Amino acid sequence: MSRAMCNPSMVSRSVLGSQTSSKSVTETMSGSHEFVIKGYSLTKGMGIGKYIVSETFIVGGFQWAIYFFPDGRDPKDNAAYVSVFVALHSKSTNVRALFDLTLLDLCKKGEHKVHSHFSHSLTIGPYTLINHGSMWGYTRFFKRRHLETSNFLKDDCLKINCTIAVLVSSIDSSQLNTIQVPESDIGEHFGMLLEDEESFDVTFSVGGERFHAHKLVLAARSTMFETQFFNAMKKDDQEIVVIDMEPKALLHFVYRDTLLEDEELFMLDSSFFPSLSESFIAKLLAAGEKYGLPRLMLMCESILCKDISVDSVAYIFALADHYCATHLKSICQKFSAENFDGEFPCLTFKPNSTFEFIANYFLASVMHSDGFEYLKKNCPLLQSELLKTGVGCEKEFS
């Protein structure tokens, strides 16, 4: 009977060959939120421990909010300080994070008041918020009498910036040998299909100019095209006559999911605002609304919102309302509300109140713009809606 001999060197190699490794990686997911406090003087006297709170915002997958205590948080300070805290609003436990609370210098001298947790992270480490409602901040953020004579308070307004870095730990199980997957190039391939002069089966005719396309592609992108091509049109209908549209830009988006790379087409000049509806971007917005392309509409809204100003807001507001561009309309309303001069309580208007009566109370740059006069003459209901937004009243008025 033979006996197998054990080779020590083989055992050693076998043990070494079974070694594995892993790596723990802790990183931060950062984000910031700016909290603007208008009418600071009106918040004084709320009482110690009373606060005003920002809207919730998301950083690192968690909800947060900034709490400002105008009379302080601690009774023993006897309202000598303002207090600022950031609170966890998610129903989560043991969230570890670093914080930075900055009072912004509104006089543009660059002397920000900064309370930063980041600079002490090596010595004291991140702070752990154990559950929903847990707070981090400063009871004695700033002495109130110094604040009220500082550059941080201007036109009765304060701005607080909060930066949060949430700690996220994970096990890095990536392999040494990896294969890099390139970004999708499907848009380029469909773009080449658009340039193909032989395989098209439908033609757009605009002002005597023809643009070729493919029914299947158009139907896949738009339910309106799908209905038009496969339910309503006859099979032998190969040409679609359209007016008041930008077919080249529309087809470019349908096939490539991007806008034309021609900045001049999207630029607006102040002299064009009265005829904004005739601009390139307005026609593209109209096409997005007509053919059910919400992403195209959002792209157009994003471009238009960058041109919102005192002179243009009324024109853009009317355009947004006409084409059901809800995001753009909301931004116009917010801009108008922020550009009304002064803080006024809501008035109770009598049935015979007039626009001129309201204007005596609210002298605002938006109301005196040409665009507001345009709304007054052409879209009185929209003018009332925009004015009501700025004034902040809920009742309708003449």
Summarised one tens digit per residue, pLDDT across range 280-330 is 888 899 889 988 999 999 999 998 888 887 777 878 888 888 888 889 888
- Name the strand (E) or helix (H) holding 66: strand 62-69
- The SS3 call for residue 236 is coil
For position 199, what pLDDT does the model report? Answer: 79
Q: Are 386 and 317 in contact (CB under 8 A)?
A: yes
**pLDDT tens readout for residues 217-264:** 888 888 888 887 877 655 555 777 776 667 888 888 888 888 887 766
Most confident by average pLDDT, 47-56, 167-176, 321-330, 353-362: 47-56
Size (the chain), residues: 398
**pLDDT tens readout for residues 218-230:** 888 888 888 878 7
For position 385, what pLDDT does the model report? Answer: 62
Give percent of the chain with pLDDT exceeding 90: 25
- The SS3 call for residue 208 is coil
Give the mean model confidence (pLDDT) for residues 263-274.
Answer: 64
21 backbone dihedrals φ, ψ, rounded to 5°: -150, 160
Which residue segments constitute the domains of the chain, with CATH numbers given? 25-170 (2.60.210.10), 185-307 (3.30.710.10)
Question: Is pLDDT above 60 for 350?
Answer: no
Half-sphere exposure of 310 (CA within 13 A, CB side): 10
Residues 6+ apart with CB under 8 A from 354: 398
* Structure tokens, 137: 């901040």
**How far is residue 111's CA from residue 102's CA, in Å, rounded to a whole number?**
10
Choose the weakest-confidence range: 289-303, 345-359, 374-388: 345-359
- Candidates 62, 83, 72; CA nearest to 164 is 62
**How far is residue 282's CA from residue 236's CA, in Å, rounded to a whole number?**
33
For position 62, what pLDDT does the model report? Answer: 92
Which pTM was predicted?
Answer: 0.48
**pLDDT tens readout for residues 118-151:** 877 667 788 899 999 999 999 999 999 998 988 8
Q: Are 378 and 322 in contact (CB under 8 A)?
A: no
